Structure 1
């Protein structure tokens, strides 16, 4: 049994004792967001008052909260006001329903506007039952996982847009609505979870100016970048987005949480793959305010990082995005990480932070506003330290790859550093894919992968005593590669084989 499932079994056993049940609770979720749902909602109603995102999370007593954690339970139960969703008027020209979607937790409905853009409406509350194995779906473990949704702040996504805009990170602009239980657009069985609940409406991909040539998912984006140097990621854009993730405490940043805008600055030049963050559900996450919650976040699942004035576990906080970070940020220097952090600090004044947090509904702001503002201010001061630790973690074992085309890898050994340059061999494409100096104090091993194509690997020695560290492991991959060592080859190993699949640069992302 996996460690995570073993832990949840233990945790579920404890909670089952507290709750007096060992089976999944059939009526876990609130039947309707409106506190006065027994009174009919007039057909002409434009808004509702006294709606809750999920008051079922606040039904526990003091012992339960001390053991598991209070989390954001009061905010889930706080009454808020919200406009009533009408697809015909929520967007100019109306919205046409499409396919039902959603990840392991949320339910969503894809929509199309008259402007041709894609939109989505998704439930504020989540049901993680789809993330559990079939074997345990009828057991107390489902209760445990469902209750853990209380660790999220249901309205945190509303805080993000002005902060992202100020830092130059693309963002969605979610709007909170109430879905009528009798709305004819939501009467199919697949949309039953929307009825009588709060939901967010937003554009499906974060809009950019000018509009991109296309928007693709991570699987397609990395496949394109692995295939040709004509498709390149934008590392400084991703670094900015990842520092924003860390500052906001958004730890769930795996490849499936990103789309990519295909931007063509010129007809002849390469296309840029610019990051478009999605799904800000884990912003302001709070887990470790109970005994068992603390154990989860600090021992068992350390990437489930609690948002607090201090960065409690920065390595765990940033770890879910490691696939992207390791392949896109490997050409950036320590100074560039620091510069990005300082620039972000300057773009996030106290007045902006206060204005962003006040986008929370009034009742939620009364509960969380003051300490959220104070925590964001404290974390802003620590952004350079977060960026430096982030850089050093990635610098230990950088993984650098070419494409399916032919590239030249030049390794220059100096007394105090090793410079790696990767550039296309094709005539007319002179811009390097990467040029970076690595220091022995920061880097232990550099893994270079030629992937496909007839690549050339050249080692040059500069100075009387060129460095032998960091070690360099070269995998030629498919094709007929050439390895040239004009001195300075100590610590360098070349093999024509491809890298092991589990550690390969071109391993497809898991979305």
Structure 2
């Protein structure tokens, strides 16, 4: 009996740690820098391309019915649908961009670039590698492809659509544009290895390079949350908490559940002899998230409720504020329930059918036909219930455990 148990244990170890590292050609093609660079050299040399190219973001997430039963359908069709987007030429865009360094968080690869006029931008990979969030040992296990697959729950056009909606709501934000990065042998080798062959989003990198410019309403300083909080706590800066509340309700509207302190920069102004900071919303990767399909995902939601989905109902407000609650408690403690509901009602009156149509028309035509009308309808349904969600948000923040 003990021998049989040992054999079963060994078989499970092989399945969990050995098989994923042998039968992984598809993973290598999708996530290997070297393989992507070689493909870019063969198919996407800049001299062979025009101003635009027709590609898909990734075919890694295209799965059969059995896999989607367990892992969910998510936005798989968006990820592997071909569409046309502009080709990025760092030698000519914005008068020429100077590569600074490769950066990014755990899951996103990014490149910091600087224009000749001294403006800082970031190129962020649209595709993610969610396995980087795993402990090192599990990155060599079956958990790796499972985690990588969950990128399919992200809407790759979320940041583009959100920026249009933020403009309507008068929320400070970056202006993301999607590009395809080709291969050019004259470019920096580190840049080539990490960026060539990728679909990326280019946007401003809020900071001192953007002060006194209209992009962020002529702010006199732009700082991150780590700089803001001590200055606010020592009364050197006031925070426009009503504006922050509007931003947080907007986050709920678009179902962006990942809004911790690192997801905000702050534009600083001198108003009536007061130094006031307003939030700049950044990093909209989780907007319009779609997770609640697939057997394993439903189990995951019972363990961690933050993975909320963009559905007509606000399914679990406590999940939507899980990552942001610490900052919310700091900044919204002095606001009343009436403030929450009034702010929600103002947002409800801000959006028109025309502004909503314009935002969701940012989808490429090949994707709009599937998701444009659906997401416009879902957005309007959530908008109609935003005042109720605001009241529940207030109650959750002010609940006494």
TM range (shorter): 0.7 to 0.9
**Offset of 1:88 from its aligned partner?**
2.8
Match of 1:143 in 2: 145
Match of 2:363 in 1: 360
Rg larger in 1 or in 2?
1
Match of 2:83 in 1: 80
Q: Is the 8 A contact 2:40 2:182 kept in 1?
A: no
Match of 1:223 in 2: 230
Encode CA deviations 1:121-154: one digit per residue, 9 max, x unaligned.
1111111343222222211211111111110011
**Offset of 1:260 from its aligned partner?**
1.2
Higher helix share: 2
Match of 1:371 in 2: 374
**Offset of 1:28 from its aligned partner?**
5.1
Higher strand share: 1
Moved over 4 A (4+): 30-42, 206-209
Match of 2:280 in 1: 276
- Partner of 1:371, secondary structure, is helix
Of 24, 49, 53, which aligns to 2:53? 49
TM-score, length basis structure 1: 0.69
Distance 1:256 1:81, change over 3 A: same
**Offset of 1:208 from its aligned partner?**
4.7
**Offset of 1:33 from its aligned partner?**
11
Match of 1:63 in 2: 66
Greater mean deviation of Cα atoms: 63-72 or 134-143: 134-143
Gaps of 5+ in 2: 1-11
- Partner of 2:322, secondary structure, is helix
Higher RCO structure (Cα 8 Å, ≥6 apart):
2
Distance 1:186 1:342, change over 3 A: farther
**Offset of 1:251 from its aligned partner?**
0.6
**Offset of 1:238 from its aligned partner?**
0.4
In structure 1, how many angstroms separate the alpha carbons of the residues matched to 2:129 and 2:120? 24
Gaps of 5+ in 1: 1-12, 398-443, 445-511
1:131-280 paired onto structure 2 within 5 Å: 131-182=133-184, 184-188=186-190, 192-205=193-206, 208-226=215-233, 228-266=234-272, 269-280=273-284
Of 103, 123, 131, which aligns to 1:101? 103
In structure 1, how many angstroms separate the alpha carbons of the residues matched to 2:20 and 2:248? 40
- Partner of 1:158, secondary structure, is helix
Match of 1:295 in 2: 299
**Offset of 1:319 from its aligned partner?**
1.9
- Partner of 1:176, secondary structure, is strand
**Offset of 1:38 from its aligned partner?**
5.3
1:305-454 paired onto structure 2 within 5 Å: 305-397=308-400
**Offset of 1:245 from its aligned partner?**
0.5
